[in-house]
Structure 1
Amino acid sequence: MKLLKTLLPFAFATLAASAAAAETMKMSVTTSFANSGLAEVLLPEIEKDTGITVELLVVGTGQALELGANGDVDAVLVHSRAAEEKWLAAGNGTHRREIMYNDFVVIGPASDPAGARSAEKAADAFADIANAQAAFVSRGDDSGTHKAELKLWSAAGIEPSGDWYKAVGQGMGAALNTAAGLDAYILSDRATWLSFENKAGLELVFEGDPALFNQYAYLPVNAEKYPSVNAAAAEKLEAWLTSDKAKGLIDGYQIAGQQLFHFNAVAE
């Protein structure tokens, strides 16, 4: 009993020290970061190396930035530069740091009824789909992917509408499921497409246009605007995301032998 009484204070002190060492921060991220499986690779290593438990709020880019603008998260990881710069200009964040990139791809029925495979540019592929009035699924959710899609329609000189164009207002995985069910075309980030299991009769029908480049950036929320923000944890996380350890994990993450993301961060 005496030994137990001696050990108990030590045990409680150890637990208290562990609890004190643990740190939590919230980060809003795009669905593609979560759906790709990369988050499952990075988060345990982040916690091991920094002691920070990162809680993810998985939404589209528009919602992710809104969470940051409301001070509901400590940092944001998204992929729509124009929206990010507008968000920063409003004083919601301190700066923008590019972390990694991949690309968008046009997915469609294996039979390719619109002939998108023969297009020279992504905008031409979109024009072919519209001219054929082939079924097209749009995320329609103000995400980075949705913004990229709208930019391509604009480049094609088309304002999509009609029964063939179906905006679902959902994340990338759910939108791909809808496209698979309808045997429809869709714009997807490459990472989510490669990790998507319910491909049904869909295939990658167009890729490689520089217009499909997809940059991901990290934006710490402005602690001067929102004093509750854990700026210290956000700074530690940024340092980790721009480290050689992060580079190895990001560049090394593959599905079916294909690299899903490319590290392009340089620590300041």
Structure 2
Amino acid sequence: MPTPLSRKLASLISLCLLALGSTSLQAETLKLATTTSTYNSGLLDSILPQFEQATGTEVHVIAVGTGAALRMGRDGDADVLLVHAPAAEQRFIGEGHGIDRTGVMYNDFVIVGPSSDPASIAGQSDVASALQRIAEAGALFVSRGDDSGTHKKEKSLWQQAQISPSGDWYREAGQGMGKVLQIADEVGGYTLTDRGTWLAYQGKLQLNLLLEGDQRLFNPYSVMKINPQRYADLNHQGAEAFRQWLVSEQTQQQIADFRINGEPLFVPSAVTPVASQ
């Protein structure tokens, strides 16, 4: 019959094993903070199972705007980031929050809107001119308004058009890209969207793609690890494994092959560094 001392010893051993098990489970989880546009495109659902199967690491995807993702990285609430706001990313690295920023892929932004096109921007090749027409016509424009990479790009484009958008025609939704497309569809407004989310949602909407091709609409995505000198307890090993996997030849090919209705959503860029503009 077990003595009280042996029972206490057994309980202590069980607690130690439980703690070890919890540590092991935590080490097998990777917190990925990424953009809603990346998530909404369906790309991550397509490629992440291969990483999880190959490494035994469960990826917990946190889909937020790029600004929120960078804040999570700064606060140690994510292990690795996949985002698309080059200037903000460079500040993040320069301030010492992140390391090993690596280009993964790119697509582009487009402007979509109602078939009636009240600002007559269809066929335009100059995005600044198109935004000027929208403002002059007072045509509804739905902004992300959420400090995301798309919102940052939109604000820079308005600045290039020398316009400070305001008034009843300009509506900030504070929502992710998929929801903003739905809102623009409901109110008959224009919006700026990444091409990937547009292709994923266009079959559900009455909106039309009205402007594309301006080089200022280039949209690069990068992966970054959190600086281990800031947060030593994060899953840095898993983050590095994920970074290397994303830029591997096999995964880059999977990114190139990912399509919706036969159209590619992203172009892999690990071989050629992304532009920093």
- Does residue 185 of structure 2 align to residue 202 of structure 1? no
Deviations 1:192-241 (A, max 9, x none): 01101564331000000110000000010011110111111111111110
Pairing partner for 1:178 from 178, 183, 186 = 183
- What does residue 162 of structure 1 align with? 167
Q: CA distance change for structure 1 residues 161 and 261 in 2, over 3 Å: closer, same or farther?
A: same
What is the rounded CA distance, in whole Å, between the counterparts of 1:175 and 1:21 in structure 2?
35
Distance 1:204 1:237 in 2: 34
Establish whether residue 220 from structure 1 lines up as the match of residue 225 from structure 2.
yes
How far apart in 1 are the matches of 2:25 and 2:32? 21
Q: Tell me, in whole angstroms, the C-alpha distance in 1 between the residues paired with 2:26 and 2:272.
A: 25
Change in Cα spacing, 1:249 to 1:161, as seen in structure 2 (3 Å) is same
Q: Which amino acid aligns with 2:144?
A: R
- Conserved? CA contact 1:253–1:259, under 8 Å: yes
Give the counterpart of 1:231 among 218, 231, 236: 236
Which position in structure 2 is the counterpart of 1:117? 122
Q: How many residues align?
A: 251
Question: Which stretch shows the higher mean deviation, 58-67 or 243-252?
Answer: 243-252
Aligned to 2:18: none
User: Structure 1 residue 120: deviation in Å?
Assistant: 3.0
Show structure 1 runs of 4+ deviating over 3 A. Answer: 19-22, 197-200
- Hey, what's the Cα distance between the residues in 1 that align with 2:25 and 2:167? 57
Instruction: Confirm or deny: 8 A CA contact 2:182 2:205 kept in the other structure.
Output: no
Which of 70, 82, 89 is the matching residue for 2:75? 70
Question: Which whole-Å CA distance do the structure 2 matches of 1:20 and 1:228 have between them?
Answer: 14
Q: Could you state the TM-score of these two structures normalised by the residue count of structure 2? A: 0.87
Q: 2:262 aligns with which of 224, 246, 257?
A: 257
Residue 271 of structure 2 is matched in structure 1 by 266
Tell me the CA shift for residue 255 of structure 1. 0.5
Q: Which amino acid aligns with 2:192?
A: L
**Distance (Å, rounded) in 2 between the aligned partners of 1:123 and 1:267:** 28
Structure-2 separation of matches of 1:20 and 1:130: 53
Q: Which runs of 5+ in 2 are unaligned?
A: 1-20
Structure 1 unaligned residues grouped into runs of 5+: 1-15
Q: Percent identity?
A: 46
Q: Deviations over 1:118-168 (max 9, x none)?
A: 423111111111111100000000000000100110010000001000001
1:31 corresponds to which of 17, 30, 36 = 36
Give the letter for the 1:129 counterpart: I
Is it true that 1:127 corresponds to 2:132 in the alignment?
Answer: yes
Alpha-carbon distance between aligned partners in 2 of 1:127 and 1:253, rounded to the nearest angstrom: 35
Measured at CA, do residues 247 and 193 of structure 1 come closer, stay the same or move farther in structure 2, by a change above 3 Å? Answer: same
**Partner amino acid, structure 2, of 1:238:** R
Q: Which amino acid aligns with 1:62?
A: G
Q: Does structure 1 conserve the Cα–Cα contact (< 8 Å) formed by 2:125 and 2:213? A: no
Which amino acid is the alignment partner of residue 258 of structure 2?
Y
CA contact (8 A) 1:127 1:158 kept: yes
CA distance in 2, matches of 1:20, 1:162: 51
Cα separation, 2, equivalents of 1:139 and 1:97: 26
1:220–1:234 CA contact under 8 A, matched in 2: yes
Q: Any idea what SS the aligned residue of 1:105 has?
A: strand
Q: Contact 2:66 / 2:85 at 8 angstroms: preserved in 1? A: yes
**Which residue does 1:244 correspond to in 2?**
249
Q: Which amino acid aligns with 2:60?
A: E
Cα gap change, 1:182 to 1:49, in 2 (>3 Å): same
Seen in structure 2, the aligned counterparts of structure 1 residues 198 and 164 have a Cα distance that, compared at 3 Å, is: farther
Aligned residue for 2:89? 84
